[in-house]
Structure 1
Amino acid sequence: MPHSVDVHVGRQLKQIRTLRRLSQTDVARRLGLSFQQIQKYEIGSNRIAASRLFELANILDVSTSYFFEGLDADSEGAADSAMDIVQAVASIKDEKTKSRIITFIEDVAGATVTRRAS
């Protein structure tokens, strides 16, 4: 059974990868791994080594601490809801509509999401 910290870090990885509009294959190629390994990281079945976490942070343009944010306050329901929202926004095909929705969320949350070109 995966450790709860590994599951949390994997969820964070999946969330930021999705926000950056990168596939598991995109990330895997940059690390010289298979997309299956990224899948295992994301579900927490394989633990991410510190050096690999550092590489992921650089690829995804976040600090390494990003992967541990919310760890103390993490609840399955909140994380699942957030992931549902991320996936829903990522699935919007019209880039103008997607951008407007992201801007709305940023305005309501008082936060800014760093966007990368697709």
Structure 2
Amino acid sequence: MAAESRNPRHGALDAALGERIRRRRRELGMSQSALGGKLGITFQQVQKYENGTNRVSATMLVKLSSALDLPVTAILQDPEPATPPADPKSDDAQLLEAFGKIQSTELRAAVLTLLAGLGSR
């Protein structure tokens, strides 16, 4: 029985790590073969890491960090944490999204004052 089938969460974690490796490799304009050459592995093995088919060992993670010129923590860290999608019909979600786009601190304060006043009615 494969480890992935025993714990399906591992497969998702491996795939997410692989995607971060792929994204960084592409940012650097590096081919899978070139990355494999730096790591002493084949491009097929790089593909397996990037697809989440094979798990990345701690040793390989350190090597990847060096080859991709990225700290290990940056490879492990998800830059965009998964958040549940907001209900498109939710007034609260629309209000928060619109408020978050306001750059001016004075305008944000004015909007809060307006909402506080309307809320007391």
Taking structure 2 as the reference length, what is the TM-score of the superposition? 0.57
Question: Which runs of no fewer than 5 residues in structure 1 stay unpaired?
Answer: 76-118
Within the candidate set 69, 73, 77, 1:61 is matched to 69
What displacement does 1:74 show? 3.4
Q: Note closer, same or farther for the CA distance 1:40–1:19 as it changes in structure 2 (3 Å cut).
A: same
Q: Secondary structure at the match of 1:15?
A: helix
Deviation at 1:14, TM superposition (A): 0.1
Instruction: Output the CA distance in 2 between the equivalents of 1:67 and 1:22.
Output: 16
Instruction: Give, in whole Å, the separation in 1 of the partners of 2:79 and 2:56.
Output: 16
Distance in 1, Cα, partners of 2:32 & 2:52: 14
Percent identity, please.
29
Match of 2:23 among 7, 12, 15: 15
Q: Is the 8 A contact 1:9 1:42 kept in 2?
A: yes
RMSD (CA atoms) = 2.1
Larger-Rg structure: 2
Q: Which runs of 4+ in 1 moved over 2 A?
A: none
Change beyond 3 A, Cα 1:23–1:69: same
Amino acid aligned to 2:53: S
